[in-house]
């Protein structure tokens, strides 16, 4: 979408003018001019070149009749010779001077005036006190330079802030929201793949902005605020722009962090200015991204009641309360941390409509890929449905990045079309990192092969596991190998059998290492972290422990935000905490025992898989099935 910044009169702001280096050159140029002017006033450039002579030589020249005139200023005597005075500067070279300077001794010389009169010397005396003009210039010159510097600095700031409403040196309290004109908001719901439920909820806002009188006749009022909640990259900003595009109204876009400045009161002033401008342009949409940066819960004891953030939040609340019942201005805000927002924001009458945006499901992922791949030449082997199936957990932004990475990889090797292998490589690069250049030695490579073979074999043998897609021992990023499992359908609910099998698959690598090499390595660190998290959630959050029963415990919850208590009080006793630890340990040890028995009984298949990985480095699902059939015979 094309973007312009407008001032308070709706005029397009120009581009930034002279840069900082040009301002500095102008300042230096003026400083040099003033220095030359100042030097000229003192006569440093109009004074002739003079030779410095001793007082005795001066009197000797007067006696000889070679001095025509003198200027006496205190103890300083400047004069002019009747004939040029020569002084040797190098052996054989002399320089002739027509003017001289000397200094009278501190004691009174009574014969000097008689000597000058006798030699027919023109005598001029000048006071040692400088004129008031010169004294004033000496005093004012530093201030003149400082004023010139601030004039140029202010001019540069004015040009930089010209794009903001009311831009200028004193426009710090003006809103910095980007304003999109009606003809500029060209994004529509057709360009927002998936998100069918959020679009339904927002379509009512669109209809109201198009025909507000239709609702006013029935006494209905549209929600003043809409809060979009969801993980990063799920399309909150895009959906807000599409809503403005569908309604065909001006769209003001800003971020919560733009209200916060060092000076107290600036944020509140910017909020007032933004709402006033939006009301003049009504019907209009105000979009505030990252609302949690300014709308976090108050009363934390950090900064007191006069904190700049709290004043800004109070101003937002007051402005939303100040809307007339039928004022056609809708505030849409986005956040990925709705749990930390102040409760005053989410009460009815403010952000009373809350829309949750989830990570896209398989069908939505395919639609998003179709949009982003529409300008990319794809080879016939690319099946976007299959790519969508493999990208479980990807957000819309992740999918856009996937298409771009695939195109970059294809261009790097000189391809004219992007193939399916490029999408696979791009996905591995995004999830695991680029391939490592350093090579593993034979012993480490064998350990990694058995580790990944253990994961793959357990995933194949146990029920209620996600289908195996690929196993590789190619090192990427911090991972020495990987086992990829892809669910046939997006899961919304996890049963206990599936979770226990997931723990067993994660333990397969560690158990395989101990079974084959009778040794444990640090390669299972990430597996153990995943296993512990799943087991603890089963006990503390999902009530899957027979000993603790259907109860939840707040252990493990985190609040990475200063608007919540940093120290969370436990809602269970120390005895219960001990039971939780025992249950988590029991679940993990039971699944480890189960995995050990499974791999011991299928040791031949494990060896075949590991040897095939050492030979080929990567095995697809079909190749793994052939190896397991061979091992069963």
Encode pLDDT of 453-473 as tens digits: 999 999 999 988 888 888 999
Q: What is the mean pLDDT of each run of 10 residues along the chain (633 residues)?
A: 37 40 59 62 60 86 87 86 70 73 83 84 76 66 73 63 45 52 65 81 81 76 82 84 81 71 61 79 81 73 55 77 68 84 80 84 88 90 89 88 92 91 89 80 90 93 89 86 83 88 94 93 91 93 90 63 48 86 94 95 92 90 87 67
Specify the CATH number of the domain 362-432: 1.10.8.60
Q: For 12, how many CA atoms within 13 A lie in the half-sphere containing its CB?
A: 8
Q: In the chain, list all ranges with CATH 3.30.720.210.
A: 51-128
Q: In the chain, list all ranges with CATH 1.10.8.60.
A: 362-432
Q: What burial class does residue 518 get, using C-beta atoms within 10 Å of its C-beta: 0-12 exposed, 13-18 middle, 19+ buried?
A: exposed
Assigned token pair, 392 = 């479980």
Q: In the chain, list all ranges with CATH 3.40.50.300.
A: 178-356
Hey, is 249 helix, strand or coil? Answer: coil
Fold of 442-632: Methane Monooxygenase Hydroxylase; Chain G, domain 1 (1.20.58)
- Write down the pLDDT at residue 531: 95
- Residue 298 is classified by DSSP as S
- Report the C-alpha gap between 58 and 85 in whole angstroms: 11
519 is catalytic: no
Cis peptide bond upstream of 586, omega within 30: no
- Write down the pLDDT at residue 499: 94
Cβ neighbors of 579 (< 8 A, separation 6 or more) are 547, 548
Transcribe 128-181 into DSSP letters. Answer: SSPPHHHHHHHHHHHHHHHHHHHHHHHHHHHHHTTTSTT-STT-TTS---EEE-
Assigned token pair, 280 = 């003049």
- Write down the pLDDT at residue 264: 52
- Write down the pLDDT at residue 553: 86
- Write down the pLDDT at residue 449: 93
In this prediction the pTM is 0.64
- Report the C-alpha gap between 472 and 483 in whole angstroms: 7
* Identified catalytic residue from 452, 484, 513, 583: 452
- Write down the pLDDT at residue 604: 92
H/E stretch holding 468? strand 468-472
Strands 329-335 and 225-229: parallel
Q: In the chain, list all ranges with CATH 1.20.58.760.
A: 442-632
Which CATH number applies to 178-356: 3.40.47.10, 3.40.50.300, 3.40.30.10, 2.40.110.10? 3.40.50.300
Residue pair 491/523 in contact (Cβ under 8 Å)? The answer is: no
Specify the CATH number of the domain 51-128: 3.30.720.210
Assigned token pair, 388 = 């969508």
- Report the C-alpha gap between 520 and 513 in whole angstroms: 6
């Amino acid at each position: 979408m094309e973007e312009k910044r407008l001032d308070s009169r709706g005029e397009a702001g120009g581009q930034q003018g002279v840069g900082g280096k040009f301002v500095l050159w102008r300042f230096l140029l003026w400083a040099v001019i003033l220095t030359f002017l100042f030097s000229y006033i003192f006569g440093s450039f109009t004074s002739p070149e003079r030779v410095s002579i001793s007082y005795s030589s001066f009197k000797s020249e007067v006696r000889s009749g070679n001095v025509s005139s003198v200027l006496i200023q205190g103890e300083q005597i400047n004069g002019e010779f009747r004939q040029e005075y020569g002084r040797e500067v190098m052996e054989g070279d002399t320089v002739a001077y027509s003017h001289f300077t000397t200094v009278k001794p501190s004691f009174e010389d009574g014969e000097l005036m008689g000597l000058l009169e006798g030699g027919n010397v023109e005598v001029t005396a000048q006071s040692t006190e400088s004129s008031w003009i010169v004294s004033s210039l000496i005093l004012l010159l530093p201030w003149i330079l400082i004023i010139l510097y601030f004039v140029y600095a202010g001019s540069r700031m004015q040009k930089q802030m010209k794009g903001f409403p009311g831009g200028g040196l004193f426009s710090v309290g003006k809103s910095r929201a980007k304003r999109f004109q009606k003809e500029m908001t060209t994004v529509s719901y057709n360009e927002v793949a998936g998100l069918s439920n959020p679009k339904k909820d927002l379509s009512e806002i669109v209809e109201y902005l198009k025909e507000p009188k239709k609702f006013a006749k029935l006494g209905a009022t549209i929600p003043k605020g809409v809060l979009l909640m969801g993980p990063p990259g799920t399309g909150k900003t895009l959906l807000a722009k599409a809503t403005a595009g569908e309604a065909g109204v001006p769209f003001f876009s800003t971020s919560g962090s733009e209200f916060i400045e060092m000076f107290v009161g600036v944020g509140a002033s910017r909020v007032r200015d933004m709402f006033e401008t939006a009301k003049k342009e009504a019907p209009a949409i105000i979009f505030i991204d990252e609302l949690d940066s300014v709308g976090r819960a108050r009363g934390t004891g950090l900064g007191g009641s006069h904190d700049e953030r709290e004043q800004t939040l109070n101003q937002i609340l007051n402005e939303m309360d100040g809307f007339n019942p039928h004022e056609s201005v809708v505030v849409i805000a986005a956040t990925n941390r709705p749990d930390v927002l102040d409760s005053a924001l989410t009460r009815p009458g403010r952000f009373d409509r809350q829309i949750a945006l989830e990570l896209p499901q398989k069908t939505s992922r395919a639609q998003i890929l179709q949009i982003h791949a529409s300008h990319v030449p794809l080879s016939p082997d690319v099946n976007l449905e299959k790519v969508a199936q493999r990208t479980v957990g990807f957000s819309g932004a992740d999918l856009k990045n996937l298409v771009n990475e695939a195109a970059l990889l294809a261009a790097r090797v000189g391809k004219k079309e992007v193939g399916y292998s490029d999408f696979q490589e791009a996905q591995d690069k995004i999830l695991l990192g680029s391939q490592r250049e350093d090579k593993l030695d034979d012993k480490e490579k064998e350990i990694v092969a058995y580790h990944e073979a253990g994961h793959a074999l357990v995933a194949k043998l146990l029920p209620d596991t996600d289908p195996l897609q690929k196993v590789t021992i190619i090192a990427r990023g911090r991972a020495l190998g990987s086992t990829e499992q892809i669910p046939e359908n997006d899961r919304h609910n996890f049963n206990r059998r599936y979770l226990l099998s997931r723990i067993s698959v994660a333990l397969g690598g560690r158990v395989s290492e101990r079974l084959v090499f009778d040794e444990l390595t640090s390669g299972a660190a990430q597996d153990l972290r995943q296993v512990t998290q799943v087991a603890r959630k089963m006990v503390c959050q999902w009530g899957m422990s027979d000993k603790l029963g259907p109860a939840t415990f707040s252990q493990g919850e985190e609040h990475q935000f200063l608007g919540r208590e940093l120290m969370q009080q436990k809602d269970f006793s120390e005895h219960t905490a001990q039971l939780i630890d025992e249950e988590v340990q029991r679940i993990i040890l039971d699944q480890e025992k189960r995995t050990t028995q499974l791999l011991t009984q299928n040791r031949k298949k494990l060896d075949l898989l590991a040897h095939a990985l050492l030979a080929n480095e990567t095995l697809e699902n079909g190749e793994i099935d052939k190896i397991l059939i061979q091992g069963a015979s």
